Amino acid sequence: METRPLGRTGLNVPILSFGASSLGQEFRRITIDEALLSVRVALDCGLRLIDTSPFYGRGMSEVMLGLALRDVPRDDYLLCTKLGRYDLAHFDFSARRVAESVDVSLHRLGTDHLDILLCHDIEFVPMQQIVDETLPALRAAQQAGKVRFIGFSGYPQKIFRFICDQTDVDCVLNYNQYTLQNTRFADETIPYLQAKGIGVMHAGPFSARLLTDAPLPPWLKEPEEVKAAARKAVQFCQEQGSSLAKLALQFSVANPAIATTVAGSANPENIRRWSDWIAEPLDQELLAAVQAIFAAVKNIGHTEGLAENN
């Protein structure tokens, strides 16, 4: 699989990475066999950067990954996990919890080091703590050899300048905002990150199933007009003998400014399909037609976290 440099880290990462949230049963019940095979297929297809968090399945995702990777040579994959978010409304970005969380994640994952460690969903807390306490604690873990590169993740575009204007990080992760419907990450933030040499990662090319043929989940937060446009786009792609999900994935990985796009599934067939899709050329005519469908709702999203962070 094609790779791209992750900022100034020296890491070359695959343009498509494996998101392991599904291994924590975040979306449906899964079997151990499904979890183990999904990881194996991801590695076989070249998705050698794996993204997880102690929040996913409240530890289950990391445990499952530890089992799946037990007999895989450590040089064959890159691990990204997170800290600070441990349940839907439980956040702890204190320096003490950073040290504990790093060691717990290392134990669950069965490794002696993490390639990337991110503060998870920082928009849910007063963000000055991330600058003053959390990131310095991550740097200490980095200096101890437990972590190679550090950064943070979140949804609102405001968070990136707030943190990176005050301190240095190696990489960041945004989600659901470099898609067929929403390109705010590229429009507002990526040039700023590139100028600082910060590694750029994006998750959610399907925007929480919005850009797939699957029924829309009840927890999807996008406005009704966005959902309606997405259903129209699904039908149009089907009429053209294609699928909106395929176009969405191809579009997201095509941007050379984004080092890697993270997509997750506990279905091995999905992962194989994704690998095949990104090896095919992007249909520019179909892309233009679908972008026209989304034009009236382009970049319309929702708020996440504290109002002050949006």
**Tokens (6 digits) for 121:** 């969903």
At position 36, the amino acid (one-letter code) is L
CB 115 within 8 A of CB 11: yes
Cα separations in angstroms, 5 against 55, 176, 258: 27, 21, 9
What is d(CA 50, CA 263) in angstroms, rounded to the nearest whole number? Answer: 10
At position 105, the amino acid (one-letter code) is S
**Residue 86 falls in the annotated catalytic set:** no
154: three-class secondary structure by DSSP: strand
Out of 56, 77, 175, 178, pick the active-site residue.
56
**Tokens (6 digits) for 124:** 């849910």
**Tokens (6 digits) for 98:** 């950073």
Please tell me the number of Cα atoms within 13 Å of 163 on its side-chain side: 35
Instruction: Give the active site residues.
Output: 56
